Structure 1
Amino acid sequence: MAPNPAIMQAVEKLNYRVTVGDVATQAGLNIEMANQGLLGLATDAGGHLQVAETGDIVYLFPRNFRDVLRNKYLKLQLQEWWQKIWKVLFYLIRISFGVVLILSIALIYISIILVISSSSSDRDNDRGGGFGGMRFFYFPDLFWFFSPNYNSGYRSHGGRQREKSELNFLEAIFSFLFGDGNPNMNLEERRYQEIATVIRNNSGAVVAEQITPYLDDIGETYQQEYEDYMLPVLTKFNGNPAVSPEGEIVYSFPELQVTATRNNPQSIPAYLKEFSWSFSKATSSQVMLSAGLGVVNFVGALILGGLLRDGAVARQVGGLVGFAQGIYWLLLAYGAGFLLIPLIRYFWVQWRNGKISDRNRQRQVRAKYIAAADEKLQQKIDYAHQFATNTVIGKDNLAYSTETDLIDQELERSDQIDAEWRKRLEEGE
């Protein structure tokens, strides 16, 4: 079984020496998964176990453990290759919608010109081309994306500067159609990272009110008394509930009280904040241009449909016009979808952001409540402090390590004990 990528990333961020609690906090994983994942990773990557005198375990990994795993697991190699290939494929998929739009516009308007030309060739030639010499393809910004300076961010236009853009024109069309993905894709990971950090900052002992700013629905007021919403947190981090003399519940998390490195309390947001969905990362000018091209495409499809209604013209002209007639309903459907999809998505984004704002507001209210704790809540927090502890496993309090032979370790430990006794005897004299 291939190692968990989240655990590997956590090990690297924590400087290759970790406890189960360290990894669970960093990766937002439950304790059991972090424990099993670390054992498997240590086995596969040649890691070492360091056992403290308290019985707690630290995992020590070589800095090149990814190279070791890559040589051992064909699956990891394939995953890395696929990630590189998928980046290219996804980019091609994104720009394909813009390419199809441009080809659709070109096919539609060239077909219109050919149809008009075949119907009144003499008159049209005198006037310089279809529709009394109208220029169908005069769209000043249509091929702006071919400019080598497009991605530099700014372009002078009418004495003004354009907005800075992270996307080229073809990418902007995809963004206009489908957006740029879920901004809260890793919400659960962030949620439990922040919860674990709160627990760590409080030395492994908290009350439920300190966790509620990072949860979603915690039930109605009468349900909150039982603190059922804490069950998933207890399960994930192997927490233990305890009851104060006043009947209040506090929670301790032994695995999160052990760390391989002494750290100061980490700064985290007062509550879990979901990010709002954006309609598009494209600039306003790119959105307007995309919408404008969509209208041009759809209107052109309607005009072409009127010209090809009886089918006789297409048979007469043939060639490109015949091809356009053959796929006309596909062109019309693409043109309609190009406008309908963003319109529907716009209203969906507004509705979704309203829900997100409500959840953020509820979490913020809970955060303000814990920040301005009343006397009763403060007593509950003070009782939780009785269960707070923080164990740092340094190299000076190890019982043994798998890095060296156990006999050598026992001899070294015996020498340390002898030296300590000699020092005591000298001080006694």
Structure 2
Amino acid sequence: MAFMSTCFTVTTKSHSIVFSSKPSILLKPSQFHTLPSQTPLNLSRTSNFRCSKGFGHVIRASVDVSTSAVKPGGTVESDKLPSDVRKRAMDAVDACGGRVTIGDVAGKAGLKLNEAQKALQALAADTNGFLEVSDEGDVLYVFPKNYRSNLTAKSFKIKIEPLLEKGKLAAEYVVRVSFGTALIASIVIVYTTIIAILSSRSDEDNRGRRGGRSYDTGFNFYFSPTDLFWYWDPYYYRRRRVRKDDGGMNFIESVFSFVFGDGDPNQGIEEERWKLIGQYITSNGGVVTAEELAPYLDVEMAEKMNDDSFILPVLLRFDGQPEVDEEGNILYRFPSLQRTAGPQRSGRKEYVGRRWADWVGGIEKFFREKKWQFSKTSSSERAMVIGLGGLNLFGVIILGTMLKNMTVTPSGFITFVSEIFPLLQIYAGSFFAIPLVRWFFVRKTNAGIEKRNQARELRAQALELPDLSLRRKLLSARDMAQKTFIGRDRIVYSTDRDLYEQDYDAKEWDQRFREIEKPD
């Protein structure tokens, strides 16, 4: 094992501020193996130089590296990540070209900074990625073009995820179809039992009138569950996309949709919300006002626009901090989102006001929640479902009365139905009770969604037509915005290069800075 510690110290005569906000990276021996094997020494290097920017930085990058490659079958660090976090981080890496900072991934994917850091460390360890350290201590993660295939080849979990997803979809479809099929089965069982009881009563009356020997009527009923499979669509997955485009569904699915609905239309929308917020902050140089983020958050109506407490979740997620400008306005700076490995355009003063809508461009002007639908079924499908449900409920009521008043000895089939009759009653009752409760829930939920959407839209309109004080506040935020592009020319250490070679480069840097220091 080789342990490398690098320390860069920047000092000036007029400032003594020490920054320690850069993330420290510690990769365990089982995590990283891209350092060349010809570095078996404990190497410590210190470089002292002056910076013309006037800030004093103490930058330390520490990497604990094992020279042995990860053995097949070893721990895959990416498997420890939640699947959603891993996928969002990988999408952000792809969008940024494979060379990213933690802030790039956090802003692009809407992840928390610590989530983005853990995801990048795990992905780099599993895909032969490497680290770069800039002259100001920023840590960059660089991934090969084939890092996805490298990860898939190493992780069994990622290999089976598509199969598990298909299995989940199939299970959901089975549940939907089973509930609809149960309606048909209930109707068949209920009315067949009613006919059987009526037939038994008729035969008993005939035997009573003859007064002779009793003969079995020979009435038998056989019902196979396989008779219901014709309701199932064997080509469901092939036709589902077509039906989704047409906005329709088959009858069996419409039964489930009427009773239980079609799920939360806003599922996964929180991730989209944080993506919008992260992208907006990064596109404006990491400094924004509370009014700019209000259209993406849960805010009150216009009369409470002076309260900035709604921005606290954003500050916690992206490590933001409030600052006060010369005019006393409170602005919010996000230092981690100001450091990027790729050049991006930033907000400019001419985009304040009416042209704000043009600047937003691909980013939504405000975050809009979708309203819940009671059911995606058409009116005709809904009428058919209600009709069959009513027919089933009516039959259950009649059958219950008949079973209570039975005077003859029931046959085997009737005995079986009497045993499962409580289940038939529960199904028939819940068929209408559940939609009724859900109808009130949908109305209440949609009222709240409408209120929040209106509040966000009002905040977005205020940005398009800002008053004088808001305009000056927005201009101040654009003045304080700062986007630092970390190019390859600013890299002072990389784990994919030999340490001796980089030590030689560092000596040249020391000599260069000493020459700069002399005129002072």
Scaled to the shorter chain, the TM-score interval is: 0.7 to 0.9
Residue 405 of structure 2 is aligned with which of 306, 310, 315?
310
Q: Distance between the aligned counterparts of 1:50 and 1:297, measured in 2?
A: 69
SS of 1:400's equivalent in the other structure is strand
Matched, 1:384 2:466: no
TM superposition shift of 1:361? 0.5
- Give the CA RMSD over aligned residues: 3.4
Residue 254 of structure 1 is aligned with which of 319, 335, 357?
335
- Which residue in 2 is equivalent to 1:109? 191
Q: Distance between the aligned counterparts of 1:148 and 1:83, measured in 2?
A: 19
Q: Distance between the aligned counterparts of 2:344 and 2:202, measured in 1?
A: 83
Q: Distance between the aligned counterparts of 1:149 and 1:37, measured in 2?
A: 39
Matches within 5 A, 1:108-257: 108-120=190-202, 145=231, 164-217=246-299, 225=306, 227-257=308-338
Q: Quickly say closer, same or farther: Cα 1:104–1:392, change in 2 above 3 A.
A: same
Higher helix share: 1
Matched, 1:332 2:413: no
TM superposition shift of 1:217? 3.6
> Residues 212 and 218 of structure 1 are in contact (CA less than 8 Å); yes or no, is this contact kept in structure 2?
no
- Which residue in 1 is equivalent to 2:84? 6
SS of 2:246's equivalent in the other structure is coil
- Which residue in 2 is equivalent to 1:370? 463
TM superposition shift of 1:307? 1.9
> Residues 278 and 349 of structure 1 are in contact (CA less than 8 Å); yes or no, is this contact kept in structure 2?
yes
| Superimposed CA distance per residue, residues 191-244 of structure 1 (whole angstroms, 9 cap, x where no aligned partner) | 22111122122111111111111111459957x545232222112111121112
Unaligned runs of 5+ in 1: 125-141, 154-162, 418-429
- Which residue in 1 is equivalent to 2:369? 274
TM score, norm. by length of structure 1: 0.80
TM superposition shift of 1:263? 3.9
Q: Quickly say closer, same or farther: Cα 1:122–1:328, change in 2 above 3 A.
A: closer
Structure 2 counterpart of 1:231, one-letter code: L
SS of 1:308's equivalent in the other structure is helix
> Residues 201 and 266 of structure 1 are in contact (CA less than 8 Å); yes or no, is this contact kept in structure 2?
no
- Which residue in 2 is equivalent to 1:156? none
- Which residue in 1 is equivalent to 2:139? 57
Equivalenced residues, count:
389
- Which residue in 2 is equivalent to 1:22? 104
Q: Quickly say closer, same or farther: Cα 1:107–1:395, change in 2 above 3 A.
A: same
Residue 387 of structure 2 is aligned with which of 292, 311, 327?
292
SS of 2:342's equivalent in the other structure is coil
| Superimposed CA distance per residue, residues 33-87 of structure 1 (whole angstroms, 9 cap, x where no aligned partner) | 2123322332233321123334322212234445544565565567665444333
- Which residue in 2 is equivalent to 1:420? none
Q: Quickly say closer, same or farther: Cα 1:6–1:404, change in 2 above 3 A.
A: farther
Q: Distance between the aligned counterparts of 1:166 and 1:71, measured in 2?
A: 40
> Residues 283 and 344 of structure 2 are in contact (CA less than 8 Å); yes or no, is this contact kept in structure 1?
no
| Superimposed CA distance per residue, residues 158-177 of structure 1 (whole angstroms, 9 cap, x where no aligned partner) | xxxxx934533322222221
Q: Quickly say closer, same or farther: Cα 1:266–1:21, change in 2 above 3 A.
A: farther
Q: Distance between the aligned counterparts of 1:146 and 1:4, measured in 2?
A: 35
Q: Distance between the aligned counterparts of 1:377 and 1:356, measured in 2?
A: 27
SS of 1:18's equivalent in the other structure is strand
Structure 1 counterpart of 2:482, one-letter code: T
Structure 2 counterpart of 1:298, one-letter code: L
- Which residue in 2 is equivalent to 1:33? 115
Q: Distance between the aligned counterparts of 2:233 and 2:333, measured in 1?
A: 61
Higher relative contact order (CA 8 A, sep 6+): 1
TM superposition shift of 1:178? 0.9
TM superposition shift of 1:5? 2.8
Unaligned runs of 5+ in 2: 1-76, 207-227, 346-359, 511-520
SS of 2:372's equivalent in the other structure is coil
Q: Distance between the aligned counterparts of 1:205 and 1:232, measured in 2?
A: 16
Matched, 1:354 2:447: yes
Q: Distance between the aligned counterparts of 1:352 and 1:186, measured in 2?
A: 17
Matched, 1:341 2:434: yes
Q: Distance between the aligned counterparts of 1:149 and 1:88, measured in 2?
A: 12
TM superposition shift of 1:300? 1.1
Q: Quickly say closer, same or farther: Cα 1:219–1:372, change in 2 above 3 A.
A: closer
Q: Quickly say closer, same or farther: Cα 1:22–1:123, change in 2 above 3 A.
A: farther
Q: Distance between the aligned counterparts of 1:73 and 1:148, measured in 2?
A: 33
Q: Distance between the aligned counterparts of 2:234 and 2:315, measured in 1?
A: 56
SS of 1:279's equivalent in the other structure is coil
- Which residue in 2 is equivalent to 1:85? 167
| Superimposed CA distance per residue, residues 224-269 of structure 1 (whole angstroms, 9 cap, x where no aligned partner) | 5452322221121111211122221011112112223334575212
Per mean C-alpha deviation after superposition, the further-off stretch among 44-53 and 375-384 is 44-53
